[in-house]
Amino acid sequence: MKVFINGQFVPQEDAKISVFDHGLLYGDGVFEGIRSYNGKAFRLQEHLDRLWNSAKAIWLQIPMTKQQMAEAIQEALRQNGIRDGYIRVVVTRGVGTLGLDPNRCSNPQVIIIADKISLYPKEYYENGLEIVTVSTLRNHPAALSPRIKSLNYLNNILAKIEGLQAGCIEALMLNHKGEVAECTGDNIFVVRQGRLLTPPTDAGILEGITRAAVIELARADGYQVLEIPLTKHDVYIADECFLTGTAAEVVPVVKVDSRPIGDGKPGPITRHLMARFHQLTQQETQ
């Protein structure tokens, strides 16, 4: 594997950063996960816009232009022979001192990794998965904006651990108001009486690229989509439920907190949107 770092592609074993990099020491940096189909990055501009917004929010200057980043991403796919895969773009604060002061850091690091990914086994897309609500709350949006995709994912990791200990590979997180926020790595949708419901951005969620694409598809197909506060009760009584994410794409949920959703099988609207999203990824990457 060839990894892009410091403006050049190097073998995986030579892709290294300093132990004094604040990305390692403090999680001071930002990242994006991007899917590729047919050898092209899907919705690359939206991902780059979000990356630049995240960097701007933490006062981090990315040492290249969006065009240069886009070219480097496509080159990473080419050099690694990846067609249907996953790209991880990381920008760290750079080498600094052991103190917190970011002004003592220099040379932000840009790292691009292109590889294959399989987040969930095929049977979960066919039969659905089970999730559980965990006690780890989503970070308070007044403390750290969930719209910043930072390198510090400890909040999500702790929730993930809880879910795994309960026997579920994904877990549902609530916000400080007890409302549904998102899962550890995915956004959540429920279907009720033919309408799609999903938490709004101020519920403490990351504004997912796949989430936005699914909302576009659903509305184009005549479904009403409401971005409204949701509680666990809304999830429990849903006719259908599914998750969206760059790596996960669209995956059905058939059980939450041991309660079957609908008839306990992936519902028709979920299956329709799964197919429509697959069509979209192929259309936009031809």
Are 212 and 280 spatial neighbours (Cβ–Cβ below 8 Å)? no
Are 179 and 86 spatial neighbours (Cβ–Cβ below 8 Å)? no
Q: Looking at residue 95, what DSSP letter applies?
A: B
238 burial type by CB count under 10 A (0-12 exposed, 13-18 middle, 19+ buried): buried
Is 149 a catalytic site residue? yes
In Å, how far are 31, 86, 145, 260 from 82, measured between CA atoms?
Answer: 20, 8, 33, 38
- Neighbouring residues of 204: CB distance < 8 A, sequence distance ≥ 6: 138, 139, 140, 141, 146, 175, 176, 181, 182
Owner of token pair 């938490």: 199
CA distance 99 to 79: 38
| Catalytic pick among 16, 56, 149, 265 | 149
As annotated, the active-site residues are 149
